[in-house]
Structure 1
Amino acid sequence: MKVKRIMANTATSDLDKAEAFYGEILGLDLLMDHGWFRTYGSNEKMMVQVSFGSEGGSGTPVPDLSIEVDDIETALARFEQASVSIEYGPVSEPWGVRRFFVRDPFGKLVNVLQH
């Protein structure tokens, strides 16, 4: 058996909040829309990964989701323009990433990072 894909699912009664955060701010494409369940993504080739930790590094809490971007400064500007509070960072970490944390509209802690 081979794992082909891992998908994060979040319960919500307001799918438009997902569109604003993941579609508009992060720029993910709407890949599937059943009306009651929407999936966002991109055509980028991605590795299948699932992570576990006792902390998020540098004394931070473990984020619910990590999203790697190609331009951290543009991502930061988009969140700031959308008035999304930055909970941590931006900071260049000793293990080679630059990152910041935000909360999505559903309370999930999101680690936005660039290697």
Structure 2
Amino acid sequence: MKVKRIMANTVTEDLDAAAWFYGELLGLDLLMDHGWFRTYGSSENMRVQVSFGTEGGSGTPVPDLSIEVDDVDAALDRFREADVTIEYGPADEPWGVRRFFVRDPFGRLLNILQHQ
């Protein structure tokens, strides 16, 4: 057996909040819409990964999701313009990433990062 894909699922009564945050702010495409369940994604090829930790690095809590972007400073600007609270960072970490933390509309802690 080989794992082909891992998907994160979040319970919500507000699918429009997901559309705004993941579609508009993060720029993900709506890939599937059943009306009661929507999936956002991109055409990027990604490795299958699941991470586990006792902390998120630099004394931070373990984030619920890590989202790698191609321009972390542009992402930071978008979140600031949308008045999304930056909970950590931006920080250039000693393991070679620049990142910041935000919470999505459902309370999930997100690590938005770019490898340097």
- TM-score normalized by the length of structure 2: 0.99
The residue identity in structure 2 corresponding to 1:78 is R
Q: What is the distance in 2 between the residues matched to 1:90 and 1:27?
A: 20
Alignment length, in residue pairs? Answer: 115
SS in 2 for 1:86: coil
Q: What is the distance in 2 between the residues matched to 1:47 and 1:23?
A: 21
Map 1:22-61; keep pairs closer than 5 Å. Answer: 22-61=22-61
Partner of 2:9: 9
Deviations 1:52-78 (A, max 9, x none): 000000000000000000000110011
Deviations 1:60-111 (A, max 9, x none): 0000000000000110011011110000000000000000000000000000
Q: What is the distance in 2 between the residues matched to 1:99 and 1:33?
A: 30
Deviations 1:29-72 (A, max 9, x none): 00000000000000000000000000000000000000000000
Q: What is the distance in 2 between the residues matched to 1:6 and 1:37?
A: 16
Map 1:87-98; keep pairs closer than 5 Å. Answer: 87-98=87-98
Partner of 1:103: 103
Identity %, equivalent residues: 80
The residue identity in structure 2 corresponding to 1:4 is K
Q: Structure 2: any 5+ residue segments left out of the alignment?
A: none
Q: What is the distance in 2 between the residues matched to 1:38 and 1:74?
A: 26
The residue identity in structure 2 corresponding to 1:68 is E
